[in-house]
C-alpha cells in the first residue's frame, strides 16, 4: 500500500500534475492540503475517472484538506473535534477516514504567522485539540497516521539555515514541544532523516530561487502509530515533483506499507 501527503497549494492549479502523479506513482491514498477551493469546486469527477474516491473539507480560497483513496474511504470525519477556531471561524484544516487497513488524517496545521500574533496562539491551541482528537487511535492496534503540513520544522537540521530563523515561527520551542506532545500519544516520525540526501526538505519558497538553492524546510510529516510504523517498508520525498513550471511549493512525501 502506497500512501502519501502533499500540500498542493491549490488543487485547481495543480490538477494536471496531480492526476499525472497519481497515475505514474500508483499511490493508493493521498492526503492533500491547501486545496484552496470550495467543496463544489473540488475535482471529484476527474479523480473518479482514475478510480479514486475523495472526501473533502474545503470552504473557499484559503486552506482546505482532502483524502483521495482507491482502497476505500469509510467513516469520514470532517473537521477537528474540539477545534478552537480562529476569530470565531472553524477553518477547514482536518479530515480523517479509514482507507483499507489504515485510519488516516490529513491535516493542515495553522501557520502561526508571527510569534506575537493571535494566529500563533491559535496554532498552539489547535495542536492541543489535535492531540486530544487522535490519542485514542494513536494507541490502538490498527495502523494509524496523522499526515500533512505541520508548519513546524522538528529540529534545527530541518531548515536550511537555523540562524536565519531567530524569533520566527516554525522553529520555536513551544511549537516543537507541541509536536513532541503529539508524538507522546503513541506516534512517531516514520520518514527517517537523512534519506537518500542530507536534507530531505519538503517545502521551498517560490521566491529568491529557494528550490534551486535548496533553501528549504521539512514541515510535511508522517506521524504513525506503532502498527503503522512497523509496516513501513520505504519512504521518500518526491523532489522531482517540485521541479518545473506549475509545481507546488511543497513536494509529496511518500510511504510504502506492507499491510
Q: For residues 59 and 244, what is the distance between their CA atoms, to the nearest angstrom? A: 29
- The pLDDT tens digits of the residues spanning 150-169 come to 999 999 999 999 999 999 99
Answer whether 257's CB lies under 8 Å from 228's CB. Answer: yes
The answer to whether domain 2-257 has CATH 3.90.79.10 is no
* 83 has a pLDDT exceeding 60: yes
Annotated binding residue 63:
no
Residue 200: pLDDT band (50, 70, 90) is confident
Calculate mean pLDDT across residues 135-154.
Answer: 97
| Residue 88 to residue 221: CA distance in whole angstroms | 28
Q: Would you say 95 and 87 are in contact if contact means Cβ atoms under 8 Å apart? A: no
Q: Is 149 labelled as part of a ligand binding site?
A: yes
For the segment 52-71, what is each residue's pLDDT rounded down to a tens digit?
Answer: 999 999 999 899 999 999 99
Give the chain's length. 259
Tell me: pLDDT of 254 over 90: yes
Q: Would you state the pLDDT for residue 197? A: 55
Q: Is 149 one of the annotated active-site residues of the chain?
A: yes
Catalytic site residue from 28, 52, 108, 170: 108
- Model confidence at 198, in pLDDT bands (50, 70, 90)? low
187 has a pLDDT exceeding 60:
yes
Among residues 52, 170, 203, 250, which one is catalytic? 250
C-alpha grid cell for residue 21?
A: 502523479
Express each pLDDT in 227-246 by its tens digit.
Answer: 999 999 999 999 999 999 99
Q: Which of 28, 83, 149, 158 is catalytic?
A: 149
Amino acid at each position: 500500500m502506497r500512501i502519501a501527503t502533499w500540500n498542493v497549494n491549490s488543487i485547481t492549479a495543480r490538477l494536471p500534475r496531480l492526476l499525472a502523479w497519481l497515475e505514474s506513482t500508483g499511490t493508493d491514498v493521498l492526503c492533500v492540503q491547501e486545496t484552496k477551493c470550495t467543496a463544489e469546486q473540488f475535482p471529484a469527477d476527474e479523480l473518479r475517472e482514475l478510480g479514486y474516491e475523495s472526501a473533502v473539507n474545503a470552504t473557499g480560497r484559503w486552506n482546505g484538506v482532502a483524502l483521495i483513496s482507491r482502497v476505500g474511504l469509510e467513516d469520514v470525519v470532517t473537521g477537528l473535534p474540539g477545534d478552537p477556531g480562529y476569530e470565531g471561524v472553524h477553518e477547514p484544516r482536518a479530515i480523517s477516514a479509514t482507507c483499507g487497513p489504515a485510519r488516516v488524517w490529513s491535516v493542515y496545521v495553522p501557520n502561526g504567522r508571527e510569534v506575537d500574533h493571535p494566529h500563533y496562539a491559535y496554532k498552539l491551541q489547535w495542536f492541543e485539540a489535535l492531540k486530544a482528537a487522535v490519542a485514542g487511535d494513536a494507541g490502538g492496534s490498527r495502523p494509524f497516521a496523522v499526515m500533512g503540513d505541520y508548519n513546524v520544522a522538528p529540529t534545527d537540521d530541518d531548515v536550511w539555515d537555523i540562524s536565519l530563523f531567530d524569533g520566527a515561527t516554525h522553529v520555536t520551542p513551544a511549537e516543537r514541544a507541541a509536536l513532541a506532545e503529539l508524538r507522546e500519544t503513541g506516534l512517531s516520525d516514520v520518514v527517517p532523516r537523512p534519506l537518500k540526501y542530507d536534507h530531505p526538505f519538503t517545502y521551498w519558497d517560490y521566491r529568491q530561487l529557494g528550490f534551486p538553492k535548496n533553501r528549504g524546510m521539512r514541515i510535511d510529516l508522517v506521524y504513525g502509530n506503532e502498527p503503522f510504523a512497523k509496516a513501513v517498508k520505504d519512504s521518500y520525498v518526491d523532489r522531482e515533483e517540485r521541479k518545473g513550471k506549475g509545481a507546488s511549493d511543497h513536494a509529496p512525501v511518500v510511504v510504502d506499507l506492507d499491510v
